[in-house]
Structure 1
Amino acid sequence: MTADQLSEPAVRAFVAAVNANDREAFRDVLAPGATMADDGTERDLAEWTEREIFSSGGRMVVESEEAGGRSLVVRYRNDTWGEMRTAWNFVVDGGKIARFETGQA
């Protein structure tokens, strides 16, 4: 499944920004004060995304979506950890990502 096939526009923009390594587009899809968790632990969103996505060449290959496109199973890869199967759950508010949670699927 490609990013442009995802049902939820904000999630579609999130995945496209990650895959394009586009920090500005990524920031634009986030709501003010957006938060995130990784494997159930709250993380600093800016620090985590820089380390796990942008500085390490993160890429998302979506396997499936549920909950109207707000829940994804993804083959996620970066230069630090290689490839792993991950779940991503999004809270969308006003067309922006207010929160996302990721972890091993």
Structure 2
Amino acid sequence: MTVSVNQLSDPAVRAFVTALNAQDESALFDVLTPDATMADDGSERDLRQWLDREVFASRGHMDVESEKDDGRSLVARYRNDTWGEMRTAWRFTVQDGKVSRFETGQA
């Protein structure tokens, strides 16, 4: 089962997923705080380099399966041209309507 992006509860998370799936780099960075951070499988990563490699250069896409924690925790099938498709968990920290941190890893 897939949750429509338009139905995601948290507006900042909804904007993040919408921009990621549209490959809209400026919209994605607009929803992030200037000092946003992220981790992948528990390791801190450089956010801009990670997004360039795992999303934009490899056409990343999220199909959300479920959400909890008021829309700030997602389980999604994530796919890109580098790794194929995998089931992933995403946790978002939202501050003043923008994503200040996200953590992702295999679910």
Q: TM-score, normalised by structure 1?
A: 0.99
Shift of 1:2: 1.4
Q: Distance in 2 between matches of 1:77 and 1:2?
A: 17
Partner of 2:23: 21
Q: Which runs of 5+ in 1 are unaligned?
A: none
Q: Distance in 1 between matches of 2:31 and 2:57?
A: 19
Runs of 4+ in 1 over 6 A off after TM superposition: none
What root-mean-square deviation, in Å, do the aligned CA atoms of Structure 1 and Structure 2 show? 0.3
Percent identity between matched residues is 68
How many residues are treated as equivalent by the alignment?
105
Q: Which runs of 5+ in 2 are unaligned?
A: none
Select which of 70, 95, 98 maps to 1:96.
98
Q: Distance in 2 between matches of 1:46 and 1:64?
A: 26
Paired residue secondary structure (1:68): coil
Q: TM-score, normalised by structure 2?
A: 0.97
Shift of 1:32: 1.4
Paired residue secondary structure (2:65): strand
- The residue correspondences of 1:64-75 to structure 2 (distance < 5 A) are 64-75=66-77
